[in-house]
Amino acid sequence: MKGIILNKNNSTYTILSDEGDYVKRKLNKNYDVGEEVNINQTYSFNYKAVAIAASLIILIGILAMNTFIIPFGYAEVSINPSFELAYNRLYKVVASEGLNEDGKKLLEDSKLKLKGLKVEDAYEQLINEAKAKNYIKENEENFVVFAYTKNKSENNQNLENSIIEKSENSGYELMFMNIEKNQYSEMRKNMENPAVEALKNKLREKNINEEEFEEIDQVKELARMIKNTENEQNNNKKPEDTGPPKKDFPQGNNQNKESEKPGNTGPPENIENNKNIDTENDPDNIKEKEDIQETQKGPEDNNPNNSNENNKRYKPSRPSNSNKGKGTSGGKGN
């Protein structure tokens, strides 16, 4: 499509197209007003579109760095050699470093390629190399401390589970230390071993005298102290009462609680029977008993005649006076 240049402003031209449209273009050559140009051969530079595209490229680059390159968390694998694994949001290793002389030497000698591995796979390779170098010995008490920076609780649990799976039947005791990220960074800044400091903090929480461990910098010794302390505390706990729950009697129930004991098959005792009061000779009780007996008598018992008859009925028989002086049975003399 062609057009006639109507106006010129530096490199921007106003063009009347052969279809009658006014368009603005930035041309790659110098033209004069009135010249005919091929609009299709011209080009325009859209700064806004270019700025948007550049912003997207930068944003994608930042997200990629944040996801794949910049460390999202740190984990220390501490045996006697200690190693640090920096991992990204995908929990893949982006950097590794030895934290003590043994750790640096092991990484240098073994030439392990840990970058790009998942954290649990890098951990497994470090453990296998430590076994090969006899840092983890058979028939001995071995400890491995996995100290890592906190994230979401679900991510923490998933990470621990993956490490536990790699540690099954491994011949060592595994101990986890969960550390705040800023606290971990501060320890590293002060050239401290995060696992060692976390173990010491654990001993402080258990009220262990700091003089007993302040000079110790071996993870194995600190981990053994924690284990022994926990065993002693568990042994000193009183066993919980595992018997049947006690019954609570409602108010007004006169049953003696002793009747609820196993083996007591007799009737429940009345609480009043437990009172040590002698009511046998109480005048009020005697009078009360007499009143009760009077009310229980029938009409016949209240009739005086009947009373005499009853007395006669139960009176023992006596021999009559007419028989006095007479002998025993015998006939008259003739």
More confident position, 68 or 85: 85
Q: Which contacts qualify for 14-23: CB closer than 8 Å, 24 or more apart?
A: 15/39
Q: Among 39-48, 99-108, 181-190, 317-326, which is the least confidently predicted range?
A: 317-326
CA distance from start to end of the chain: 196
Q: 170-203: per-residue pLDDT in tens?
A: 889 999 999 999 999 999 988 889 999 999 999 9
State the Cα–Cα distance between residues 87 and 84, nearest whole angstrom: 10
Collapsed DSSP state (helix, strand, coil) of residue 3: strand
The mean per-residue pLDDT over the stretch 66-73 comes to: 85
CA 294 centroid distance within chain: 76
Collapsed DSSP state (helix, strand, coil) of residue 163: helix
Edge-first strand listing for the sheet containing 12-17: 22-26, 12-17, 2-9, 36-38
Question: What's the mean per-residue pLDDT of the chain?
Answer: 76
Supply the pLDDT for residue 54. 87
The amino acid that residue 268 corresponds to is P
Supply the pLDDT for residue 320. 45
Collapsed DSSP state (helix, strand, coil) of residue 111: coil
pLDDT band at 307, cuts 50/70/90?
very low
The amino acid that residue 245 corresponds to is P
271 Cβ neighbours under 8 A, 6+ residues apart: 254, 256
State the Cα–Cα distance between residues 97 and 194, nearest whole angstrom: 13
Supply the pLDDT for residue 148. 95
Supply the pLDDT for residue 324. 43
The mean per-residue pLDDT over the stretch 40-64 comes to: 76
Note whether 110 and 127 are within 8 A (CB). Answer: no
Give the residue ranges of DSSP H helices in the chain: 47-64, 101-110, 119-132, 153-166, 181-189, 194-205, 219-236, 283-296, 299-302, 304-314
pLDDT band at 254, cuts 50/70/90?
very low
Is residue 177 within a helix (H) or strand (E), and if so which, with residue range?
strand 173-179
State the Cα–Cα distance between residues 247 and 252, nearest whole angstrom: 15
Q: At what angle do helices 194-205 and 219-236 cross, to 10 degrees?
A: 20
Given a cut of 70, is residue 296 above it in pLDDT? no
The amino acid that residue 84 corresponds to is E
For the chain, the C-alpha Rg in angstroms (whole number) is 54
pLDDT band at 238, cuts 50/70/90?
low
Q: Three-state SS across 81-95?
A: CEEEEEECCCCEEEE
Supply the pLDDT for residue 310. 45
The mean per-residue pLDDT over the stretch 106-127 comes to: 93
Q: Among 29-33, 62-66, 290-294, which is the least confidently predicted range?
A: 290-294
Supply the pLDDT for residue 153. 79
Residue 39 region, left (φ>0) first, then alpha (ψ -120 to 50), else beta? alpha
Note whether 306 and 300 are within 8 A (CB). Answer: yes
The mean per-residue pLDDT over the stretch 145-161 comes to: 90
Note whether 177 and 103 are within 8 A (CB). Answer: no
